[in-house]
Structure 1
């Protein structure tokens, strides 16, 4: 249905509803909007009458959103976010052409930096600003337009596109490898894993059909580079990205005691990867859209060949 045929509710009614849902309180919503609680209640009643639905169950001084309200709140929140982004873009000159990108440090150094000049050539007037951060940014607070994050693709309410899978190889020092002859031997050693996804080893143990390891023997690291150095130092058995593992095995620094390909056929949803992540509204900006189109069109598997 087009906007010409659909009569949208008054903006003030949507603002009152949005505030009430977030705060779970009419009074708190009124404080935020600098109006009286009665005014907020009237706007919510107007919205309910306009939509012909019940949005809140009133229980004394408290309110409980109905299932309909929870659903509507998702779209109203997304709508206000897109409005705010549009106002920011058109009223602040420095944001109109700038693309602020956050990239997982590993993807930045191993992949993106090797190809970034290609983007600048394809979009010569782009003003690209890049930061590196392991954690997923708060796009509003951190003023980020688009991100490339490591994980399993589970970022609700964001646009997500897989760029490349990050297949892992079980690695350790040659000395430690003498004690790892079968998957069952893994449970007898300290296991190294990333802080962001501590389910990797449990998924691997399920895939290899062996009993779980003692969690007290695990050691977590914030980034892949530190975990790789810890593996080389003999602190335990690490999960190393395939491109690094093959290089370290060739140099003799590490060994894959159970074989390089033992994890290659794990279920796809248990294999981490690097994903393009951004709020859907951000792609409406031409510069951001240009970067998204470029980064998703690259064959990242061939970057390091």
Structure 2
């Protein structure tokens, strides 16, 4: 009887040794070369390949004399097996190499990094002197495994259900435009005639704002999106359209005379909290088992990030 691979909704993995042999044969292109690398006989390699084929109930290699060629299924499987063994290697390095033990790789929204985090990061170093911090700034949530990211701080609405998520601080917006454009906006309905600007990650924000103002979403005229909030802010100042600017930045630009809030600085303060974006700590639950990651999560969630409002 062939071993069952599927059990309910769970996949029963084949023997790890069979996968290791399969990966060697796929990389090296022959049973003998794989046997030499693994320090076993070609017969032993052939037995492991047959075991894997029987387990998966598929043919992995076509034998043509002394030459073997991977089937389409084998080529697909090889990519996943390669990724799996690379993950194993990364995990082994992480726990065995002392230089990795106190390392924490943090992926942070660029805005949060510059506006909130950088000025306070040394406080965490004071609490955990041995921590080796590696900081990257990206607007998208990175692949925690593939990119070796321990924790991430993301802008959004807290919708990452597969991870532990904690709100750090809200990011309230102000409807802003250049002084010239402001002369064409006297009521909220005038927004439907304007070009509306937003970052790529905020495609749902203008509809939320317009609904809050009592405007049908299908009345939006023109939208332009930008890769990040900083570029959108510059486009708003240049007069390209009406932008939703973070309140901290809006206050600075309005005071400088570069922007105007045609519907008032506090025009969106009554929005439902669930419709107001914010910066969230996002972390796989298992990553908190590492002491340095747990310490960082504990520290960052206890900070009063709203106090940064005083900077503006």
1:178 aligned to 179, 183, 197, which one? 183
Gaps of 5+ in 1: 1-11, 21-27, 42-81
The answer to whether the aligner puts 1:93 opposite 2:98 as a matched pair is yes
* 1:156-235 correspondence to structure 2 within 5 Å: 156-212=161-217, 217-235=222-240
Calculate the TM-score normalised by the size of structure 2.
Answer: 0.73
The Cα RMSD (Å) is 3.1
Q: Choose 232-241 or 264-273, whichever is displaced more.
A: 264-273
Residue number in structure 2 paired with 1:256: 261
The answer to whether the aligner puts 1:134 opposite 2:139 as a matched pair is yes
2:156 aligned to 132, 151, 155, which one? 151
Question: What is the deviation of 1:228?
Answer: 0.4
Q: Secondary structure at the match of 1:36?
A: helix
* 1:25-104 correspondence to structure 2 within 5 Å: 35-40=51-56, 87-104=92-109
Residue number in structure 2 paired with 1:285: 290
Instruction: Give the ranges of 4+ consecutive aligned residues of structure 1 lying more than 4 Å apart after TM superposition.
Output: 31-34, 82-88, 213-216
Q: Secondary structure at the match of 1:108?
A: helix
1: distance between equivalents of 2:11 and 2:168? 38
Cα deviations by residue, 1:159-197 (Å, 9 ceiling, x for unpaired): 111000000100001111111111100010000011012
2: distance between equivalents of 1:216 and 1:210? 12
Question: What is the deviation of 1:91?
Answer: 2.8
1: distance between equivalents of 2:188 and 2:307? 31
2: distance between equivalents of 1:157 and 1:84? 25
Query: How many residues in Structure 1 have an aligned counterpart in Structure 2?
Result: 250
Change (3 A) 1:187 1:216: closer
Calculate the TM-score normalised by the size of structure 1.
Answer: 0.74
Change (3 A) 1:90 1:234: same
The answer to whether the aligner puts 1:116 opposite 2:139 as a matched pair is no
Residue number in structure 2 paired with 1:77: none
Asked if structure 1 preserves the Cα contact closer than 8 Å seen for 2:194 and 2:241, the reply is yes
Cα deviations by residue, 1:97-120 (Å, 9 ceiling, x for unpaired): 101111000000000011111111
2: distance between equivalents of 1:151 and 1:105? 13
